[in-house]
Amino acid sequence: MGVWNWLWEALTREPSRTSPAPRSRPGGSTEGSAVATADRTHHNPAQSGGDQEDARWWAPEGALLTEPVTPERPELAPEARALENLLISHFDGHDLKLPPLLHVAEGILSGLRDPKCNMPAIANQIAADQVVTAAVLRMANSPLYRGMHKITGLQPAVVRLGVKAIRTLMMHESLRAAMFHGAGVSSEYARMLWERSLAGACTMRGLSRFSSLNEEDAHLIGLLHDIGGVIVLRVAHDDHVFTRYDIDIDSFEYFCYECHQEFGELVADAWRLPDTLKTLITSHHKYPAENDPLRRERLLIMLTDMINSMLGYGPPASYDLLNTNVVKDLGLAERRDFVKYLEELPAQLDETVSAF
């Protein structure tokens, strides 16, 4: 059963040779905030005015990395070590309030259950929520779905998107709500994680054209595979309320890497995600064996994360991308259409992330 089919049933059943600079690496802390102010400048070498060689961001000068980078444990302040212990104590879900699916999303998904669902009625249901209405219009005019003309009305936006895209959007909005819950304290880190999730969805969706993976399934995997970072964000937020400790970016990044698979499993259970997606969320860093039934998906996730790190949507890393084992095992190293995809991707990512 496909990811979307399973998810649908679960949700609706009754009960340059220069690497781009990092996009979102918060810097100095601000008083009374658990986060720092982010410098959001983003260098896109393909638009830097250099020659064609300079635009080859996937082959930066001196890059030797051919395997996904495992982040090193930073020097942790005493407060950070205490927060780490608190995070680990929550691995079993004890005394941990998990983010729910957005309530309006559950209602709209229920309305979409019927294959012959009335799309005007769905539009009316969406119209009752201003936030979701705005999100539908944004998605309909985004680089992923837009047509020849900009849409300003809800009814034509719903028609343009169709059932599958609206389902995707409901997951977008549930994730956004989970990330920005109480974001007065954590807004910069929440924005960083949100942009990375969007970039993951966009990159995975684009990479699906080089495999037999359905593009909507790829979009969902790219969007949600690091969803456990939401729990790290929330626990850090709650901890700050009591301790006033401003977690630094290196510690936050490391805690997300250290904890996101365990927390991702808890969220996957709470959201009743399909087993295949849950498996990928809880285990996607170990290089897959030849006989792994999810080998293709795991390799695509790894490639997505490597690409996004090089383009500023992840912890910075510099790979010799076409010579990585991931690209070779996916059979992409010699494909001209893959290189063409890489050439166009930085602008596509920036445009897509900005659209949401």
User: Span 200-229, mean pLDDT?
Assistant: 94
CA separation, residue 164 to residues 113, 159, 168, 230, 315 (Å) = 11, 11, 6, 25, 31
pLDDT at 44 over 80: no
pLDDT at 182 over 70: no
pLDDT at 216 over 90: no
CA distance 145 to 117: 21
Q: Identify which of 311, 308, 312 has the alpha carbon closest to the alpha carbon of residue 23.
A: 312
Domains and CATH numbers, the chain: 66-95+187-356 (1.10.3210.10), 100-180 (no CATH)
Backbone dihedral region of 254: left (phi > 0), alpha (psi from -120 to 50 degrees) or beta?
alpha
pLDDT at 91 over 80: yes
- Residue 88's Cβ-side half-sphere holds a number of Cα atoms within 13 Å equal to 9
pLDDT on residue 186: 63
Q: What are phi and psi of 186, to 5 degrees?
A: -115, 25
User: Span 260-289, mean pLDDT?
Assistant: 93
pLDDT on residue 107: 80
Question: What mean pLDDT is reported for the chain?
Answer: 83
Task: Say how many C-beta atoms besides its own lie within 10 A of residue 302's C-beta.
Answer: 23
pLDDT on residue 2: 55
165 residue type, one letter:
A
Share of the chain above pLDDT 90, in %: 48
CA distance 326 to 266: 28
How do residues 247-270 score in pLDDT, each as one tens digit? 999 999 999 999 999 999 999 999
Q: Which residues contact 73 (CB under 8 A, 6 or more apart)?
A: 254
pLDDT on residue 71: 87
pTM above 0.95, yes or no: no
